[in-house]
Amino acid sequence: MVSESEQSIDRFLSLPSNHSFFLFGPRGTGKSTLILQRFKNNSFMIDLLIPEQEDRFSRNPGELIEIVKALPKKFKHVVIDEIQKIPKLLDPVHSLIESTDKKFILTGSSARKLKRGFANLLAGRAFVYHLHPFSALELGKEFSLSDALRWGLLPKIHSLKSETYKTQFLQAYAHSYLKEEVWAEQFVQDLDPFRRFLEVAAQMNAKVINFSNISRDVGVDDKTIKKYYTILEDTLLGFFLEGFHHSFRKRLSTKPKFYFFDPGITKALNRTLSVPLVERTSAYGEAFEHFIILECIKLATYYKTEYKFSYLMTKDGAEIDLVVERPGKSVLLIEIKSSKQITKESLLSFIKLTNDFGRCEAICLSNDPYQKKIEHVKLFPWQIGIKKYFLD
- Domains of the chain by range and CATH? 4-130 (3.40.50.300), 136-287 (no CATH), 294-390 (3.40.1350.10)
Please tell me the distance from the alpha carbon of residue 78 to that of residue 74, in angstroms, as a whole number. Answer: 11
Better-scored residue on pLDDT, 245 or 14:
14
Please tell me the distance from the alpha carbon of residue 156 to that of residue 176, in angstroms, as a whole number. Answer: 15
Please tell me the distance from the alpha carbon of residue 115 to that of residue 119, in angstroms, as a whole number. Answer: 5
Pick from 199, 167, 121, 178: which is nearest to 264 by CA? Answer: 167
Q: Is pLDDT above 60 for 4?
A: no
For the residues 352-371, what does the mean pLDDT come to?
94
Buried b (16+ CB within 10 A) or exposed e, 188-223: beeeebbbbbbebbbebbbebbebeebbebbebeee
Expressed in angstroms, the distance from the first to the final Cα of the chain is 34
For the residues 336-343, what does the mean pLDDT come to?
96
- Per the prediction, the chain carries an average pLDDT of 91
Q: What is the dihedral of CA 334, 340, 346, 348, to 10 degrees?
A: 40
Instruction: Describe the chain by its helix, strand, coil percentages, rounded to 5.
Output: 45, 20, 35
SS3 assignment, position 370: coil
The residues, ordered by sequence, that sit 6+ positions from 237 with a Cβ below 8 Å of its Cβ are 26, 177, 181, 260, 261, 265
For the residues 210-232, what does the mean pLDDT come to?
94
The residues, ordered by sequence, that sit 6+ positions from 242 with a Cβ below 8 Å of its Cβ are 254, 256, 310, 311
Q: Is pLDDT above 80 for 172?
A: yes
For 133, list phi and psi in degrees, rounded to 5. Answer: -60, 170
Residue 253 has what pLDDT?
A: 62
The region that residue 93 occupies, defined by phi over 0 for left and psi between -120 and 50 for alpha, beta otherwise, is alpha
Could you read off the pLDDT of 249-290 as tens digits, one per residue? Answer: 444 667 899 999 999 999 999 999 999 899 999 999 999 999
Residue 384, CB-side half-sphere exposure with 13 Å CA sphere: 13
Could you read off the pLDDT of 80-134 as tens digits, one per residue? Answer: 999 998 989 999 999 999 999 999 999 998 877 776 655 457 777 889 999 999 9
Better-scored residue on pLDDT, 356 or 67:
67
Most confident option among 75-84, 122-131, 315-324: 75-84
Q: What pLDDT band is residue 318 in, cutting at 50, 70 and 90?
A: confident
Q: What pLDDT band is residue 180 in, cutting at 50, 70 and 90?
A: confident
Model-level pTM?
0.93
Residue 392 has what pLDDT?
A: 79
Residue 33 has what pLDDT?
A: 94
Q: Is pLDDT above 60 for 43?
A: yes
Residue 120 has what pLDDT?
A: 58
Residue 8 has what pLDDT?
A: 76
Q: Is pLDDT above 70 for 162?
A: yes
